[in-house]
């Protein structure tokens, strides 16, 4: 099963309307996705109101024995650490099933302390967490938060470090595309390559895929 919980549409900085993103994800071999556009206090309610509509229509259409699920979500992005709790709570209140926080990637000036603040809240995934510490990874493990291995250019620079720290501490890993354009959508070969490129073994990659399946079952 191939699942991608980190994908963007025109509701933030993605290139595709939700329907096209969904169609292309199905064509690539996905069995489930989450639409998780960038958001802060200015657009959380607006984004989720619209994304929930397409999720409802899509899941109804594919409910007749076809295997595909799309979940409404959000990526809380560049919100100051002290305000992450409020943003996450607002996202949940507005119907976000998958809540991601934009972690301390090496390719953007994310405020220091974002990883730690996010991992203490009711989130599902810490995206591209950069040079995450063992202390932070242990909090992720305790709270059941998945640490992302990213396919996206720039964000993927710390994948090897993230994988190493997660395996050492027992934190859960998940693979995501962070799709913004059609060329970002992963097929199975690319999905596996993200894992192997981060240094995962075949058994560890299988465990990562299982983490995604478990998260899907939690909300689907």
pLDDT tens string 148-161: 999 999 999 999 99
In the numeric block, which tokens belong to residue 68? 């595909």
Integer CA distances (angstroms), 214 to 132, 170, 206, in order: 23, 16, 12
> Where would I find the beta strands (DSSP E) of 50-161?
69-76, 98-102, 125-127, 146-150
Q: Is the pTM of this model over 0.95?
A: yes
- Map out the domains of the chain with their CATH numbers: 3-219 (3.20.20.140)
Q: Does 62 score more than 90 pLDDT?
A: no
Element (H, E) at 162: helix 159-169
pLDDT on residue 110:
98
State pLDDT tens for residues 175-207.
999 999 999 999 999 999 999 999 999 999 999
Contact criterion met (CB below 8 Å) for 51 and 12: no
CB atoms under 10 Å from CB of 104, counted, come to 24
Average pLDDT of the residues in 73-83? 98
Strands 146-150 and 98-102: unpaired
Alpha-carbon distance of 97 to 103, in angstroms, equals 19
Instruction: Map residue 87 onto helix, strand or coil.
Output: helix
- In terms of Cβ atoms closer than 10 Å to its own Cβ (0-12, 13-18, 19+), residue 143 is middle
Integer CA distances (angstroms), 202 to 31, 112, 178, 179, 190, in order: 21, 33, 23, 24, 14
């Amino acid at each position: 099963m191939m699942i991608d919980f980190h994908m963007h549409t025109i509701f933030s900085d993605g290139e595709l309307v939700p329907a096209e993103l969904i169609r292309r994800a199905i064509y690539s071999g996905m069995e489930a996705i989450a639409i998780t556009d960038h958001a802060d206090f200015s657009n959380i309610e607006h984004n989720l109101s619209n994304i929930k509509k397409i999720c409802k229509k899509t899941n109804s259409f594919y409910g007749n024995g076809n295997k595909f699920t799309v979940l409404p979500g959000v990526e809380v992005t560049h919100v100051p650490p002290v305000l992450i709790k409020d943003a996450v709570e607002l996202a949940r209140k507005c119907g976000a099933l998958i809540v991601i926080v934009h972690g301390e990637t090496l390719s953007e000036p994310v405020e220091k302390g974002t990883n730690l603040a996010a991992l203490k809240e009711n989130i599902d995934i810490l995206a591209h967490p950069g040079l995450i510490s063992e202390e932070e990874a242990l909090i992720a493990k305790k709270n059941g938060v998945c640490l992302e291995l990213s396919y996206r250019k720039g964000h993927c620079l710390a994948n090897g470090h993230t994988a190493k720290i997660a395996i050492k501490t027992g934190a859960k890993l998940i693979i995501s595309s962070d799709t913004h354009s059609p060329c970002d959508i992963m097929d199975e070969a690319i999905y596996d390559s993200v894992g192997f490129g981060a240094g995962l073994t075949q058994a560890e990659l299988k465990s990562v895929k299982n983490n995604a399946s478990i998260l899907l079952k939690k909300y689907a």
